[in-house]
Amino acid sequence: MKNIGIWMDKEKAHIITIKEDQEDMTTIMSDVETFNIKGGSGTRFKGGPQDVVQDSKYLHREKQQFKAYFKKLVSYVETADRLVIFGPAEAGEKFNKELQENYKGISEKVKDVIKADSMTDNQTKALIRDYFTKTTSKI
């Protein structure tokens, strides 16, 4: 049985594959940019000229970058028998939603989406190993 755990955030994803007591860790970097939207009042006087900020174009660009990031991740996890997603922010939930909408076969393999803080590589491996050990012992 091939178990895969992903610890992911907006910047990177650590994919830990556990198969027959062997662990393999791959890190995938995302190309999702951090936007610092600038704009607002262009003057200190009330009612003066203001710059119009187009939030929608930044949000659309970020959405497209997330789609490309998730597509990269799918190529690594499509062979999994069981999949669990960990992460500190909403990236894991977004990835799960993307799987449910566009990758039904893979989304059925997702056993859990769990919030977890940033960790070292060894802590990440231990977390995923422990998760699959506990769930396997319940079966």
Q: What is the pLDDT of residues 101-110, one digit of tens each?
A: 999 999 999 9
For 96, counting Cβ atoms within 10 Å of its Cβ (0-12 exposed, 13-18 middle, 19+ buried), the class is middle
Q: How many other CB atoms are there within 10 angstroms of residue 6's CB atom?
A: 26
Q: Is the pLDDT of residue 46 over 80?
A: no
Q: Note the pLDDT of residue 137.
A: 62
Please tell me the CATH code under which domain 2-138 is placed: 3.30.420.60
Which pLDDT score is estimated for 21? 80
